[in-house]
Amino acid sequence: MAKLGGKVMVTGGAGYIGSHAVLALLDAGYEVVVVDNLVTGFDWAVDPRATLVEANVADDERVRATIRDHGVAAIVHFAGSVVVPESVTDPLKYYRNNTAATRSLIESAVSEGVRHFIFSSTAATYGTPAKVPVQEGDPTVPINPYGMSKLMSEAMLRDVAAAHPMNFAALRYFNVAGADPKGRSGQSTVGATHLIKIAVEAATGKRDSVAIFGTDFDTADGTGVRDYIHVSDLAAAHVAALAVLVARPADSHILNAGYGRGFSVNQVLDAVDRVTNQTIERRYAGRRAGDPAELIADNSAILATLDWRPERDRLDTIVEDALAWERKLGEMGR
């Protein structure tokens, strides 16, 4: 296997998905430096084996100095804003934090000779797909600024990779959930909007109910259907993507990161009830802006391209790990 020849910079590595990617990279033997402004991330979520630099990814001077000082050979970019409804009400925040900041980071990478770039993209780039499951070559017509901000970043990476000696992998995440099975990290954001996070908060007494937004979708039970992927499986996909980029430096990839099957909101809450042996109160509300009825990955490309196979893909396993982390947060007083 080809060697990277330097450290991996993880932006947003103090956040939910980023902290799990840091764990996966460290466990795989990579040296890691985290760049995070700690606006939504937590310094305690960064594994002590990694180096933490508190900075904004759009701070060109700090980022370039970090790349030079630490001998960074690859960047895994998670930093950004991720709340779909907020992107509808505050689009400029998303074009600043996601698109403009990513442009700055890419320019810093090119300037300092970084050869490999992994980008956290999203299934929101597809908008409302004409068919399900959705494939990477299907039309990308985002229906919210969050999805558009990520799609614009993908386009920048594609153009930069054609003009400079850098390749990239953009992983289009579906719905990320769960927590590190060893209890080292998990979703810790206060006021998180992820369904399983909200549900386990309700199961541990932090909320009195779970809101279901939309009961009139064209789905089996009227609630939205999503493809839920365990965060540790997703983190492992980033490690596998890095290996492919290093081994084949002329090739870049855009890949769906999901399991290829969907569960409705009600089915997810049924799983939480089942795992906890209790019943969470469900409150029904109207649809949120920018929510498609159904979003499921065709994951054949990622399975064919990367040396990666899901290991924690049972819905109950995802819920169990999320619940264990929520209970640990309670013990930590968070």
CA distance 169 to 154: 9
Alpha-carbon 146 to chain mean position = 13
DSSP string of 111-134, one letter each residue: HTT--EEEEEEEGGGGBS-SSSSB
Q: List, in sequence order, every residue forming a beta bridge with 178; answer none if it has no partner.
A: none
What φ, ψ does residue 70 adopt, rounded to 5°? -105, 0
Which backbone phi and psi does 119 adopt, to 5 degrees? -120, 135
Q: List C-alpha distances in Å: 217 to 153, 220, 225.
A: 30, 9, 9
Catalytic annotation, residues = 146
Q: Identify the three-state secondary structure at position 289.
A: coil
C-alpha atoms less than 13 angstroms from C-alpha of 16 in its C-beta half-sphere: 24
Token pair of 47 as six digits: 């594994």
